[in-house]
Amino acid sequence: MDPAAAPAPVAPPSTAAAAEAAELAAGFIGGDEQSFATLYRDWGALVHRLAARTLGDPREAEDVTQQVFLAAWRGRHGYRPERGPLSAWLVGITRRKTADALSARTRRGELVAVGAVGGGPSGPAPDARPEAALDRVLIAQEMSRLPSAQRQVLDLAFYQDLTQTQIAERTGLPLGTVKSHTRRGLHRLRRSLELDGSSPWMSRR
């Protein structure tokens, strides 16, 4: 074979870049704040972008980004360079923190739904809370997938603030049937919300 026709060898990774990455990792693990600042500067945008892609809320993604780097700083001694680069380690933390944020959002949504069905305790109206609009959008999307009878009962409870007795009077359904539709609808709603959290970026710990 003509040596001139042989494919050019693939250049190895830059030793300078590898040395720089190793130095950054060592400084970070050792508690050097300048290394931590460099890590945030280099990877903060990526972490925010991944969180925003899943959460759909840039402001919530900012909170998650702060949580990610705070967790990274506190848990820096758990990082093992031989297992992969710092960026991959940060992505793993981002997945967990994003999962936590979505789980918290789901819990808030369930509390809003249950509070509406049961009449709810006295306090600020749901629309008065900043997160209420987000919760309502999330729940409305999942409610649209419920069977019509369950959706009707939960719609009357959630959006019109009717008690189960009032729903029975409005629909002509037996009170026991209303309670059954409510219980089954909330169960399916809860499961749907949990399943919606199972995206590729939602790996659990």
CATH of residue 189: 1.10.10.10
CATH number at residue 38: 1.10.1740.10
Between 101 and 115, where is the model more confident? 101
Domain identity same for 81 and 122: no
* pLDDT of amino acid 119: 46
Q: What is the pLDDT of residues 19-72, one digit of tens each?
A: 888 898 899 899 888 888 888 888 989 999 988 888 888 888 888 899 899 989
How many domains does the chain divide into?
Answer: 2
Residue 124 has pLDDT above 50, yes or no: no
What's residue 151's pLDDT?
A: 84
Q: Are 205 and 96 in contact (CB under 8 A)?
A: yes
- Confidence band (pLDDT; 50, 70, 90) for 193? low
Count CB-CB contacts under 10 A for residue 136.
19
134 and 153 fall within a common domain: yes
Query: Both 119 and 172 in a single domain?
Result: yes
pLDDT of the residue at 110: 62
Do 77 and 136 sit in the same domain of this protein? no
Q: Do 50 and 32 fall into the same domain?
A: yes
Is 1 a residue whose pLDDT tops 70?
A: no
Report the alpha-carbon distance of residue 33 to residue 124 in Å, rounded.
42
Q: Which residue has the tokens 């060592």?
A: 26
* pLDDT for the residue numbered 11: 45
Residues 79 and 131 in one domain: no
- Mean pLDDT of the region 77-103: 88
Q: Are residues 182 and 118 in the same domain?
A: yes
User: Considering Cα of 52, then 56, then 58, then 63, what sign does the dihedral take?
Assistant: negative
Domain boundary among 35, 67, 102: 102
Distance CA 149, CA 11 (A): 65
Whether 156 contacts 162, CB under 8 Å: yes
- Indicate whether 115 belongs to any domain: yes
The answer as to whether 150 is a domain residue is yes
Residue at 19 is within a domain: no
Domain stop point among 75, 102, 129: 102
Residue 91 structural domain: 26-102
Question: Would the pLDDT of 129 be above 70?
Answer: no
Residues 174, 111 share a domain = yes
158 and 134 in one domain?
A: yes
Residue 204 falls inside a structural domain? no
On whether both 98 and 68 belong to a single domain, the answer is yes
For residue 16, being part of any structural domain is answered with no
Is the model's pLDDT at 9 over the cut of 80? no
Whether the predicted pLDDT of 14 surpasses 60: yes
Residues 151/185, Cβ–Cβ less than 8 Å: yes
CA–CA distance, 18 with 31 (Å, rounded to integer) = 20
Within this chain, do residues 109 and 182 fall inside the same structural domain, yes or no?
yes
Q: Is there a domain that residue 63 lies in? A: yes
The pLDDT of residue 99: 87
Residues 114 and 142 in one domain: yes
Q: How far apart are CA 160 and CA 29, in angstroms?
A: 55
Query: pLDDT at position 111, please?
Result: 61
